[in-house]
Structure 1
Amino acid sequence: MPQTVEALYILGFFAFGPIDRLRRPIQTRETRPRWIMEQQHRLTVKEALSRSGACLQRSGSVDRGLSLAEWTNRAGEAFYERPDHHTLSIYLDGGERVIREDKRLSGGAPGKLCLLPAEHKSQWHIGGPLRMFHLYVDPELLAYEALTSFDIDPRHIDLMDLTFCDDPAMAMIVRGGVLPLNWQEKSDRVALDAVCRLLIHRILKSHNRQARQEAVRGGLSPSVRRLHRRQPRAGADA
């Protein structure tokens, strides 16, 4: 088939395809299949926790695509079904009787870390009192930080799915830097933004499978330094 004819055929397929769909019965919210409704609105981790009976102690928004929350819970079940954001969770108190049922993992405790990438699925059983900190990060924001701070191609972001892990540095940042701040006070906004960015950088540096090991040391970015090394020196052939 000539390329021009083939192109017209493809354009015609997409141009007239929707007409057939217009002849079908219109689906209302009541008649719409459940899987379509779930696809249109996937619960955030925050929404899922609220439905599970967890108590939101405080929350705040740092920037577009970056927010945080402090939760308490005593008992129940929590289900996360492909949320559209990354979640960093650090236990502040309790957690010893929490079980991640989809992976059959236990071992929560104060200071333990869970990292839940966007689009993940998990099921949790809460068998005792706990208090935890959550940081919610939009994938677009993480991609921007990866590119500008670490020169990481956003396509190479592959966060680990971590459960009850140790990261003393990150736990210290949360306890010493995030929790003492007033998340609603304007005078604390700059400090809150800085410490949350520090958490994001820690995630990219330590918990991204494909992160480059080249540290950011100031000066020119790694990509500019590589470009400079490839360019011939002026007067080299003189």
Structure 2
Amino acid sequence: MPALETLQVFQSLNRSPNARLEACAELGDGLSAAVWSNHHDAQDYQAPDHHTLSCYIGGGTGTFRRDQPGTKGGPDKLCILPAEHQSAWVINGEIRLAHVYFSPEQFALGCVTLLDREPRALQLRESTFLEDAAQARRFHQLVALNWHEPAERLLTSSLAHEMLSHTLLGQVGARDGLRLKGGLAAYQRRLLTAYIDHHLEDAISLGQLAGLCALSEYHFARMFRQSFGLPPHQYLLARRLARAQALLRGGALPLSEIAWMCGFSSASHFTHRFRQAVGATPGEYRQALRT
């Protein structure tokens, strides 16, 4: 995900003289979060290139969308603002809200790994003032953490992943009237995901994956991106890091062994890639979850 300051929803609030940024953090894995307070303001969002989950932590009873003036917000109300959506808001009175931003690539990964569907066939459903007690509780837990303390920031990242998974499982629907062209067949996509997950410890090449689908490497790479929403190397790295996180959460294996089991050439390469994606070393990640 781009730097937090480049995200349109974040930028829009940050420019407002009435909005105050209380906390923000980039959480790795295409996720970031912010807590805002605001009062007597107006905000317009025009086709952002990222998705936003929002929860009213306090206030908001005078907040509404210009196209829905009769429907007001309130504490624990949730909003789902997909990428490319348009909305205009009026904030009367005081409001405190938390945002979790996530990238199209994270949406694509969730569609493939959680829903076993092509990302381009699905869309995140826009929702205003949704009631979801479990999701609101996660937001309150997130806001209560100290994002500047490394261990608690990692817990914030875990909560953000839970929120994203919850949203994908409940708030994603098929795109109406869509006729997919190109890309891989469903059986090829499932063959590839199963093969990759069963061979993460191996040095998987583009040629091997292309061969499974009887395609040239060039044609395969283009079709893979169409069906998975990201290129093969990025998907493979994401799956390796997901396995590493599961192993770090679930036991006390040496880091060198985890590196080997997840297909990294060395412990130092594993640590470098893990820090790039998560914002902490594997050891720091494991220690944070233990404490």
TM-score, structure 1 normalization: 0.68
Alignment match of 2:35 (pick from 70, 74, 97): 70
1:125-140 correspondence to structure 2 within 5 Å: 125-140=90-105
2:68 and 2:159 map into 1 onto residues whose CA distance is 31
2:7 and 2:165 map into 1 onto residues whose CA distance is 26
Does the CA contact (< 8 Å) of 1:56 and 1:70 recur in 2? yes
1:95 counterpart residue number: 60
Structure 2 unaligned blocks of 5 or more: 1-5, 176-188, 195-291
The one-letter amino acid of 2:138's match is I
Residue 187 (structure 1) aligned with residue 131 (structure 2): no
1:151 and 1:125 map into 2 onto residues whose CA distance is 38
Does the CA contact (< 8 Å) of 2:124 and 2:173 recur in 1? yes
2:81 counterpart residue number: 116
> Shift in Å at residue 116 of structure 1?
0.5
> Shift in Å at residue 51 of structure 1?
1.9
Question: Which range moves more in the overlay, 48-57 or 199-208?
Answer: 48-57
> Secondary structure, in 3 states, of the residue corresponding to 1:79?
strand
2:8 and 2:61 map into 1 onto residues whose CA distance is 24
2:8 counterpart residue number: 44
1:104 and 1:189 map into 2 onto residues whose CA distance is 37
> Shift in Å at residue 223 of structure 1?
4.3
2:133 counterpart residue number: 168
Residue 141 (structure 1) aligned with residue 106 (structure 2): yes
Two-structure CA RMSD over aligned residues (Å): 2.1
The one-letter amino acid of 1:92's match is I
Bigger radius of gyration among the two: 1
* Deviation per residue, 1:18-65 (Å, 9 max, x gap): xxxxxxxxxxxxxxxxxxxxxxxx960011112233111100110142
> Shift in Å at residue 157 of structure 1?
2.5
Instruction: Label 1:200 to 1:129 Cα distance change in 2 as closer, same or farther (>3 A).
Output: same
Q: Which has the higher helix share?
A: 2
2:135 and 2:174 map into 1 onto residues whose CA distance is 20
> Shift in Å at residue 102 of structure 1?
2.9
Does the CA contact (< 8 Å) of 1:75 and 1:129 recur in 2? yes
Does the CA contact (< 8 Å) of 2:48 and 2:83 recur in 1? yes
Instruction: Label 1:149 to 1:189 Cα distance change in 2 as closer, same or farther (>3 A).
Output: farther
